[in-house]
Amino acid sequence: MPRDRHVFRALRLQRDPSLPPTLELDPGACPVMRADGAMKERLERRLEPPPPCGEACPVRAFFAAARAAGADVELDVGAGYGRFGRGRAAAHPELRILGIEQEGARVARSDVLARKAGIRNLAYLVGEARYALEFCVPPDSVAAVHVLFPDPWPKDRHARNRFFRAPNVELVHRLLRSGGLLHAATDDETYFGRMLAVMEADPRFGRVPPPARTDAEKTDFELKFEGRGRPVFAASWRKL
Ligand SMILES: C[S@@+](CC[C@H](N)C(=O)[O-])C[C@H]1O[C@@H](n2cnc3c(N)ncnc32)[C@H](O)[C@@H]1O
C-alpha cells in the first residue's frame, strides 16, 4: 500500500469516535510533514525555508499544551509500532511523548492501542523525522530524545540515511534543553560503534550511563531481536 494511503488510514482511525479522545496531530495540516516532491528537494537543498505553519500548527499546539501543563516533552524518533512510547507514556503520565514515524500504518496501530489503554499523553507525527526535528520542534524544548533501534543502513552507499550523523546530532542539540538527554539502542554492534564515534566527536555532549528500561518500555524490534538471542547495545548522552 502506498505510504499516503497509510497516512489517510491513520487519520481516519484517529477520528474514530468510538475511541476515547487523545492528543491529535494532523499531518495534513502541516506543510512540512506533507512535503513531497519539489518541496522535499527544496528543504533538502536548503533552497528556502518551509512555508509558515501559523497558529494552526499542531506541533506548536502540542508544545504549547506541554508548556502550559509544566510537562517535560520526550521524543521517540522512528517510533515504529510504538510499544516503547505507549509503555513510557503509561508509566509517566507527567510526561508528554511525541512519536515521529514515517510509516502511517505503524502510527495508526499504536494510536488505536494507546486510546484503548486510555493513554492521553502520547501523540504522533507521521513523516520524515529530519524535517520534524529541523522545522517543527522548537529549540531548547525537549527533555529527552529516544532513538531506539534505528535502521543501521550497513552499506556505505546508504550512509547518508543513518540517523547518527553529525547533521542530525546538530538537530538534536538544537532542540534539547540544557541537560537534556539523547538515548540510543541498537542490536547492530557496527552501528553502535558508529554512534559512539559520532557522539564522541561532539564535545557539546557528555556520555552518561543509559537508564534501565522497564519491560513495558521495551520496543517491538527489541523484543524481536531478543527472541533471536541478539545482544542489545545502549548508550546515552547529556547535552552539556
Ligand atoms: C528498525 S525500526 C525501529 C522502530 C522502533 N523504534 C522499535 O525499536 O521498535 C525503525 C523505524 O524508524 C522509522 N524511520 C526510519 N527512518 C525514518 C525517518 N527518516 N523518519 C521517520 N521515521 C523513520 C521506520 O519506518 C521504522 O519504523
| pLDDT of res. 25 | 61
Strand partners, 176: 142
Any ligand 1 atom below 6 A from CB of 188: no
* Ligand 1 contacts CB of residue 217 (under 6 A): no
Among 16, 26, 140, 151, the one annotated catalytic: 151
Domain architecture of the chain: domains with CATH: 3-239 (3.40.50.150)
Confidence of residue 45 (pLDDT cuts 50, 70, 90): confident
137 and 32 Cβ atoms separated by less than 8 Å: no
Which ligand 1 atom minimizes the distance to the CA of 224?
9
121 neighbors 96 (Cβ within 8 angstroms) = yes
24-33, 45-54, 104-113, 175-184: least confident range: 24-33
The residue among 33, 210, 222, 42 whose CA lies nearest residue 131 is 33
Burial profile 30-42: b = 16 or more Cβ within 10 angstroms, e = fewer: bebbebeeebeee
Q: Residue range 27-47: average pLDDT? A: 68
User: What is the tens place of the pLDDT at every residue in 110-119?
Assistant: 988 998 898 9
pLDDT on residue 131: 83
Cα–ligand 1 centroid distance for 96 (angstroms) = 20
- Residues 132, 99: contact at Cβ < 8 Å? no
d(CA 138, CA 94) in angstroms, rounded, equals: 20
Residue 4 near residue 27, CB atoms below 8 Å? no
Evaluate if residue 164 carries a pLDDT over 70.
yes
Burial 43-55 (b: 16+ CB within 10 A, else e): beeeeeebeebee
Q: In sequence order, what are the residues at sequence separation of 6 or more whose Cβ sits closer than 8 angstroms to the Cβ of residue 54?
A: none
pLDDT tens readout for residues 71-94: 999 999 999 999 999 999 999 999
Give the pLDDT mean for 141-168: 95
CA–CA distance, 35 with 234 (Å, rounded to integer): 33
**Which secondary structure element, helix H or strand E, spans residue 101, and what is its range?**
strand 96-101
151 is catalytic: yes
SS3 assignment, position 153: coil
pLDDT digits (tens, 9 = 90+) for 46-59: 766 776 666 667 78
Q: Which residue has the cell 542530525?
A: 168
pLDDT of residue 10: 53
Ligand 1 pocket, residue 148 CB under 6 Å: yes
Atom of ligand 1 lying closest to residue 106 CA: 27
Helix (H) or strand (E) holding 176: strand 176-186
Q: Is the CB of 128 within 6 Å of ligand 1?
A: yes
Q: What is the pLDDT of residue 70?
A: 94
pLDDT of 22 above 80:
no
Q: Work out the number of other CB atoms within 10 angstroms of the CB of residue 186.
A: 26
Tell me what pLDDT residue 185 has.
Answer: 97
Q: CA-CA-CA-CA torsion for 86, 239, 198, 125, nearest 10 degrees? A: 30
pLDDT higher than 60, residue 5: no
Residue 27: predicted pLDDT: 58
